Amino acid sequence: MAQSLSTSMISSSSCAFLAPTKLDSRPQSVSLQVKRVGVCKCVATPQEEKIAFKTMVSRNANIAKLQAGYLFPEIARRKAAHLLKFPDAQVISLGIGDTTEPIPKVITSAMEKRAYELSTQEGYSGYGAEQGEKPLRAAIASTFYRDLGIEESDIFVSDGAKCDISRLQVVFGSNVTMAVQDPSYPAYVDSSVIMGQTGQFQKDVEKYGNIEYMKCSPENGFFPDLSTVARTDIIFFCSPNNPTGAAATREQLTQLVQFAKSNGSIIVYDSAYAMYMSDDNPRSIFEIPGAKEVAIETSSFSKYAGFTGVRLGWTVIPKELLFSDGFPVARDFNRIVCTCFNGASNISQAGGLACLTPEGLGAMHQVIGFYKENTDIITETFSSLGFKVYGGKNAPYVWVHFPGQSSWDVFSEILEKTHVVTTPGSGFGPAGEGFVRVSAFGHRQNILEACKRFKQLYK
């Protein structure tokens, strides 16, 4: 039976990650992010103000195809509207999937040092290599791709995986066809729409024309039935997956690589959550024999080191990956990187290098371990309430099933009655309908409080 909760149950303070060594020694008060409440307008929201002047430039028709704004700004808009309605609500955000714990000191001190050096004659540097600093590229290769035949020169350091997804789309152009897991991280579909690779949005099926949606549901173990998937040029594949939390097995990824090979397709493999994996599944697509000829991998420091604001990621494009005319994909990507991007911040790169020292790796594992404990708490809560719960084990997301209900209705009910922001599954694709994603990124007290409220709502 659903019950409303009081709006002022918890106090506010911030929580330091590294100071206490034991998780339960964290401050017991709760930090609630109610400061940045400004009304957030979606990209696709029509302008309501009186128009005084219009240019003669027509709107990019591909951008105009996008539906109701990017998912996360839409959630921010609804959260802001909720706060206008309940100004005293202690809102807990388990929606967008942004990290909350401080960056370990071993990492920030390296950035601090680099920032300081920039103010000295000897230490100053301007533009760096567009592909990233050599020591960082080498450290990424040896940390994440040891013995997989990936070399430093195959790695492009960037300002994040999302930015690289869009730059890859620029490389592919508007004449390619693409497939995505359904549900999937919205940046793949939206960047494809913007590039003009798709048709219009078809309201009846909630899909864009000319995209192959590869359904991933509990029925198929969240891995698509490739025998029913049409050939496309590009296949976006994320494992561990956002939002379902599912991680593909070695056998499944072997099937995927074979599928790409027999179709002459390119896989864009997103491994942004690989370090969250508990099961013994591949952490990189390049663990699969033959993948270097058909795959690109993009990844990120965002969810490993709390770099969502610092901005640092990388993309691996093996030399073996060729277009149909034999031209290396990496050379075109390099051209785009040099034209559209001037390299990741040198301060971020110093942080990235510190992340990959033994101390940095240990500190990242500690942060990841903390979020994984949050995941267990959320999973346990929904399971104890009788829900079917997926994900969680290999990713910081819990995918909760509300059979027969609309995701947005469940999202609204949870927000209205518990003041907790989640993410409606249908925002990730039509196969996400009936699910809600609960993010494990949060201060421990917020996670515990949110779970307490879920228990009151659904007991």
Ligand X SMILES: Cc1ncc(COP(=O)(O)O)c(C=O)c1O
Which residue ranges make up the site for ligand X (CB under 6 A)? 97, 160-163, 185, 238, 242, 270, 272, 300, 302, 308, 313
Burial 207-220 (b: 16+ CB within 10 A, else e): bbeebbbbbbbeee
**Shortest CB 232 distance to ligand X, Å:** 19
**Shortest CB 96 distance to ligand X, Å:** 8
What are the E-state strand segments in 29-146? 92-93
Which residue, 90 or 271, is less far from ligand X as judged by CB?
271
Which residue, 44 or 96, is less far from ligand X as judged by CB?
96
Q: How far is it, in rounded angstroms, from Cα 16 to Cα 14?
A: 7
**Shortest CB 199 distance to ligand X, Å:** 24
**Shortest CB 51 distance to ligand X, Å:** 34
Residue with nearest beta carbon to ligand X: 160
Which residue, 74 or 270, is less far from ligand X as judged by CB?
270
Task: Find out whether 402 and 387 touch, Cβ atoms under 8 Å.
Answer: yes
**Shortest CB 332 distance to ligand X, Å:** 21
**Shortest CB 394 distance to ligand X, Å:** 13
Q: How far is it, in rounded angstroms, from Cα 222 to Cα 379?
A: 18
Residue 262: closest CA among 219, 287, 238, 232: 232
Cα dihedral angle (64, 66, 70, 71), rounded to 10 degrees?
A: 150
**Shortest CB 326 distance to ligand X, Å:** 30
Which residue, 399 or 458, is less far from ligand X as judged by CB?
399
Which residue, 213 or 458, is less far from ligand X as judged by CB?
213
Which residue, 185 or 286, is less far from ligand X as judged by CB?
185
Which residue, 418 or 432, is less far from ligand X as judged by CB?
432
Q: How far is it, in rounded angstroms, from Cα 375 to Cα 360?
A: 23
Q: Which residues contact 55 (CB under 8 A, 6 or more apart)?
A: none
CA atoms within 13 A of residue 160's CA, in its CB half-sphere = 13
**Shortest CB 58 distance to ligand X, Å:** 30
Task: Find out whether 436 and 366 touch, Cβ atoms under 8 Å.
Answer: no
**Shortest CB 313 distance to ligand X, Å:** 4
Q: How far is it, in rounded angstroms, from Cα 7 to Cα 419?
A: 8
DSSP for residue 328 = B
Which residue, 17 or 428, is less far from ligand X as judged by CB?
428
β-strand pairing of 155-158 with 313-316:
antiparallel
- Please identify which residue in the block is written with the tokens 């990730």: 428
Q: How far is it, in rounded angstroms, from Cα 269 to Cα 285?
A: 7
Which residue, 97 or 392, is less far from ligand X as judged by CB?
97
Q: How far is it, in rounded angstroms, from Cα 330 to Cα 292?
A: 12
Q: List, as one string, the DSSP characters of 140-205.
A: HHHHHSTTTT--GGGEEEES-HHHHHHHHHHHH-TT--EEEEES--HHHHHHHHHHT-S--EETTT
**Shortest CB 410 distance to ligand X, Å:** 21
Which residue, 307 or 402, is less far from ligand X as judged by CB?
307
